[in-house]
């Protein structure tokens, strides 16, 4: 598998939040047969439920495959883990793969979740004078750098006649951004579920706009290229189990929320609201979704948010 050069790795690390500092990753670990290392985020409901239930572990055990799980705070950090060989598989939004590929990370798109535009949005304080997206001009807008909402903000501003340079981007992790909004240190916050639902139900926040009609908000399953080439059987079983779990969530959303509540640290009602904004339906990578990723990549390059042009179809198995 291709590795980043020292310069490329520094470039990639520059795109991820400061939260990566102190996050322990193995030093250039390699693919090892018999291991399946999954990176996840607490917001990734089907993966989290598979981990909690042990379903996938049991399914892969007869193949002699041991599953290990590593939690990451957000997509950019998970992509760094995938690139350095700390994990083999993970789930992220649409922007992290673009940033990672532009920095030379060697991964492949495996599958995607059908559009979930209501699962990300921009919130402001309930008493904020900001009433429309146009009112964001000149304001401090917080979001996680390199995450899916990074693209959402760019697309939202363009739809409403603003440029990315018309706002003051403030790069904050979810917990820090929520605290900043509550103390009025920022004017708006772009965030995804379940944090989006929590900000509205638990905090003093009001939804300004979600991604409906603005961005698809695809979620992607990504694999380390070498693992994807050598263990198609493992990935196939994993996607089958994820599909089953997604179907169960759709049919048992209240029960899923109750199981996720102690894991995600939010009340079940808030998690249920967030779960209903996702589709939990996964499909193999296809040309249309790669074209959407290409549009994001081209826009980010034009805005000088990534260092070079990329071709998203290069990140698929031939």
User: What per-residue confidence (pLDDT) applies to 5?
Assistant: 42
Evaluate whether 6-114+218-315 and 117-210 have a shared fold: yes
CB under 8 Å to 215, separation ≥6 — which residues? Answer: 94, 117, 120, 151, 152, 155, 156
Q: Which fold has domain 117-210?
A: D-Maltodextrin-Binding Protein; domain 2 (3.40.190)
pLDDT at 8: 45
Cα–Cα distance, 140 to 234 (Å, whole number):
44
- Residue 105 sits at the vertex; the CA angle it makes with 298 and 308, to the nearest 5 degrees, is 30
Residue-level pLDDT at 31: 62
Q: What pLDDT shows up at residue 261?
A: 95
Q: The domain 6-114+218-315: what is its CATH number?
A: 3.40.190.10
Residue boundaries of the structural domains of the chain? 6-114+218-315, 117-210
Tell me the average confidence (pLDDT) per consecutive run of 10 residues in the chain, 318 residues long.
42 39 42 87 89 96 96 89 92 94 93 96 97 98 94 98 98 94 97 94 92 96 95 97 97 96 93 95 96 98 96 94
> Given this model, what pLDDT does residue 43 score?
80
pLDDT at 177: 96
């Amino acid at each position: 598998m291709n590795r980043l050069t020292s310069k490329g790795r520094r470039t990639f690390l520059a795109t991820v939040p400061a939260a990566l500092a102190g996050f322990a990753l193995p030093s250039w670990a390699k693919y090892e047969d018999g291991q399946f290392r999954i990176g996840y985020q607490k917001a990734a409901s089907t993966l989290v439920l598979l981990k909690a239930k042990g379903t996938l572990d049991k399914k892969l055990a007869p193949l002699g495959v041991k599953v290990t799980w590593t939690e990451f705070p957000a997509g950019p950090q998970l992509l760094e883990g995938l690139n350095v060989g700390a994990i083999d598989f993970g789930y992220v939004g649409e922007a992290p793969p673009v940033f990672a590929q532009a920095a030379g990370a060697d991964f492949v798109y495996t599958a995607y979740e059908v559009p979930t535009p209501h699962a990300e949005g921009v919130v402001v304080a309930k008493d904020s004078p900001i009433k429309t997206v146009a009112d964001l001009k000149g304001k401090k807008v917080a979001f996680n750098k390199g995450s899916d909402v990074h693209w959402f903000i760019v697309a939202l501003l363009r739809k409403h006649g603003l440029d990315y340079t018309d706002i003051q981007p403030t790069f904050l992790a979810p917990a820090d951004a929520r605290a900043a909004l509550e103390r009025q240190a920022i004017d708006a916050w772009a965030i995804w579920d379940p944090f989006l639902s929590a900000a509205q139900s638990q905090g003093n926040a009001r939804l300004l706009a979600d991604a409906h009609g603005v961005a698809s908000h695809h979620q992607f399953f990504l694999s380390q290229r070498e693992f994807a080439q050598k263990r198609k059987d493992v990935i196939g079983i994993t996607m089958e189990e994820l599909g089953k779990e997604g179907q169960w969530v759709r049919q048992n959303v209240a029960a899923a929320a109750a199981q996720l509540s102690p894991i995600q640290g939010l009340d079940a009602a808030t998690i249920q609201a967030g779960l209903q904004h996702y589709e939990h339906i996964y499909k193999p990578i296809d040309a249309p979704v790669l074209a959407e990723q290409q549009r994001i990549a081209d826009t980010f390059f034009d805005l000088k948010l990534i260092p070079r042009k990329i071709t998203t179809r290069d990140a698929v198995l031939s």
